[in-house]
Structure 1
Amino acid sequence: MSSGDCQQSEALAKPTLSEEQASVLVESVFGFRVSKIHPLPSYDDQNFHVHILRTKDTTDGPTEYVFKISSTEASKNPDLIEVQNHIMMFLKAAGFPIASVCRTKGDHTTSLVSIDSGSEIKSHLVRLLTYLPGRPIAEIPIHPPLLYEIGRLAANLDRTLEKFQHPKLSSLHQENFIWNLKNVPLLEKYLHALGQNRNREIVEQVIKRFKEEVMTKLSHFRECINHGDLNDHNILIESSKSASGDAVYQVSGILDFGDMSYGYYVFEAAITIMYMMIESKFPIQAGGHVLAGFESVIPLTAAERGALFLLVCSRFCQSLVIAAYSCQLHPENKDYLMMTAKTGWKHLQQMFDMGQEAVEEIWFETAKSYESGVTM
């Protein structure tokens, strides 16, 4: 195992607190008494849904929170987590449906705690966020108007973050961060997890084309801060009834800012398209509706549009390869790790079989139809 593999393995070694340990920390660090607690699914951190007891000091505040315990590796970079917290507070102040970051008893946004894992004592950063209502997009039928709104949301996030400032903002420059779309070539370390099959052949072709067609053109893309993970489980939706009695869905929450980094507008568009394809009955067409929403806020340049197909394929590869590799390390977390893979390989193969020109024609014509008011 290479040093990079070791680092990835350590990063994916999730904290393993018991519910009792988590409850004790919520009280000792944040001053809340826990009435009910249960674990939430997560990738490499550990999360708990926490209900607190009302007291004379919390009569008007929320009673539901998410207690987050960062992995050992992530906890070594407190500046990055601090910036993530301040970005959340900045976006919430700007009107986005973001969780509030709770202060510790010492008036900080995080706390570094020592936790006995049974075999050794490890240090972990812990945070407490307010719990957001709603259901993840993965649990509801996705229709074009919602896809369009998700595209607008992704662009508005990046556009708003143009104004964000923080003395530790440079921590978002993560050169070897596996989830930054710029780092697709790093996937070569993990291809062994796929075995020898067509899926691996497709990934190898994507990496080769990425090096030739994207890495050489990065200077033509516009830089920005990316959320980087607007997936079908990180966007919450609430429904209401329209005048005609139909269900109308609106975004009620944006979760998980742990993959934020410096990237490009077209990266955010590609990542959002890829994840919205996962849950759509018509995955190729879905990309056009997301693109239309994104471009209603930030129109892509010709160079950015020309890279979009390969970038969407690249994000599929990142998600699918790392999930396969992570399952080898942590088979007990297989159900969560392989959510994207259930349909992801099928979508990636379909895109490859259709070819860039055919897929782009559907995306760009669908996006264009919004300009004329006749949505495809």
Structure 2
Amino acid sequence: MSQTIPLDTKPPTTEESVVSICDRLYPQLGIENVKEINSYDDRNYLVSGKNEEQFILKITNSIDTQDDGLLEGQNKLMLHLSRKYELCVPVPILNVHGQYLSREELNTNQNGQKFAIRLLKYVSGTILGKLQLNKQLLIQCGEYLGKLQRCINDGYTDQSIKTRQYLWSLTSFPQARQYLYVLDQNPIKRQWVEEAMNRFETEILERKDQFEHAYLHGDFNEQNILVKDGSISGIIDFGDIYYGPRIFDLAICIAYVMLVDMSDLDPVLDAPRYVLEGFIKHVPLCERELVSIPICSVARIAQSVTLGLWTYQQQPGMNICWSPKQKDGKCCNE
């Protein structure tokens, strides 16, 4: 089934209305300051409460709000990782009704449309994309991802997430064909994307039942990985979780770290090797998976270029985290 990118679904809010939402749903926190931070299609606000506690108020776009079970599955996973393994992830906070999620009309919205509202604990740290990568950080990326994948798949299960299909999952890369026209002014790049897509379909998707499957973070990139005191400390943004071949998360990580500044390393030869070295300490891979990683990494870059450029053409003012060189530390900081 063909999918399209939803546009104009961002919640119609203001910082003033967010203060009102916080007072109504989370009065115990005494929210004092509100500041909007960048997000792809949701509204995210950094809010500060009494005792200088910080949280992220997340108001989800109308499309995902209507997806029964999706946000509940995300909350369930974050709680699973925090409670069972004490991983540093954004943990949802109970509202005044004793729930982790509330679907409500907004004061500025006149058509009765509802949006999901959640408050998550703020996870501090420096975004990996703002740093210069070295061998140790790359190995740590792989180690953290391998550990994360093992933790996710130890006791977590959710039918909504397991059956989820959406355009930005790596499995859906061939769906980007409908947007290839955005590359018409660059025939060489379009040919490269089409070749990457064809190879991914033939060598990966047509044989995907031969791969080990797992629940995936879905977007383990340099904008979502946090660092403290020189070590990987946490992971944010669980909006892209789904179920698929377990090497997809590793391939996505490799695709993006190859495009981050490095100190005295070859980004194409060294970055994949060191990330893989760390990953297989926790998740051993078979030969079929190992030879498939480069194909999947190239597919992810091609997917990001195509979908990111299409979205930017539709909404030129949108701060989109599709460019590998964008390191402002704001995009996807959810």
Give TM-score scaled by structure 2 length. 0.90
Q: Distance in 1 between matches of 2:253 and 2:114?
A: 33
Q: Choose from 47, 50, 71 the match for 1:50.
A: 47
Which is higher, the Rg of structure 1 or of structure 2?
1
Q: Tell me how far 1:29 sits from its aligned partner.
A: 1.3
Q: Tell me how far 1:120 sits from its aligned partner.
A: 3.6
Letter in 2 for 1:298: V
Match of 2:233, SS state, is strand
Partner of 2:76: 86
Match of 1:96, SS state, is coil
Q: Choose from 135, 151, 170 the match for 2:142.
A: 151
Q: Distance in 1 between matches of 2:60 and 2:168?
A: 17
Does the aligned pair in 2 maintain the 1:114–1:121 contact within 8 Å? yes
Q: Distance in 2 between matches of 1:39 and 1:274?
A: 29
Q: Choose from 10, 17, 20 the match for 1:14.
A: 10
Partner of 1:255: 236
Q: Distance in 1 between matches of 2:204 and 2:2?
A: 26
Q: Distance in 1 between matches of 2:314 and 2:213?
A: 34
Q: In the alignment, does 2:174 pair up with 1:189?
A: no
Q: Tell me how far 1:164 sits from its aligned partner.
A: 2.5
Does the aligned pair in 1 maintain the 2:93–2:100 contact within 8 Å? yes
Partner of 1:4: 3
Q: Tell me how far 1:187 sits from its aligned partner.
A: 0.9
Q: In the alignment, does 2:256 pair up with 1:272?
A: no
Larger relative CO (CA 8 A, sep 6+): 1 or 2? 2
Partner of 2:296: 311
Deviations 1:68-110 (A, max 9, x none): 0100000012411111111101111212111221001111110
CA spacing shift, 1:311–1:338, aligned 2, 3 Å: closer
* Equivalences for residues 1-376 of structure 1 within 5 A: 4-5=3-4, 8-10=5-7, 13-31=9-27, 32-54=29-51, 63-93=53-83, 94-117=85-108, 120-166=111-157, 169-174=158-163, 176-197=165-186, 198-239=188-229, 249-281=230-262, 282-284=266-268, 285-333=270-318, 335-340=319-324
Q: Tell me how far 1:3 sits from its aligned partner.
A: 7.3
CA spacing shift, 1:121–1:337, aligned 2, 3 Å: farther
CA spacing shift, 1:337–1:233, aligned 2, 3 Å: closer
Match of 1:4, SS state, is coil
Letter in 2 for 1:188: R
Letter in 2 for 1:27: D
Does the aligned pair in 2 maintain the 1:236–1:252 contact within 8 Å? yes
CA spacing shift, 1:13–1:340, aligned 2, 3 Å: farther
Gaps of 5+ in 1: 55-61, 240-248, 344-376
Aligned length: 320
Percent identity between the two aligned chains: 26
Does the aligned pair in 1 maintain the 2:164–2:243 contact within 8 Å? no
Give TM-score scaled by structure 1 length. 0.80
Partner of 2:330: none
Q: Tell me how far 1:296 sits from its aligned partner.
A: 1.4
Letter in 2 for 1:44: D
Q: Distance in 1 between matches of 2:282 and 2:3?
A: 38
Does the aligned pair in 2 maintain the 1:133–1:252 contact within 8 Å? no
Deviations 1:194-213 (A, max 9, x none): 22421111100111111211
Match of 1:303, SS state, is helix
Deviations 1:334-369 (A, max 9, x none): x434432669xxxxxxxxxxxxxxxxxxxxxxxxxx
Q: Tell me how far 1:220 sits from its aligned partner.
A: 1.6
Q: Tell me how far 1:193 sits from its aligned partner.
A: 1.9
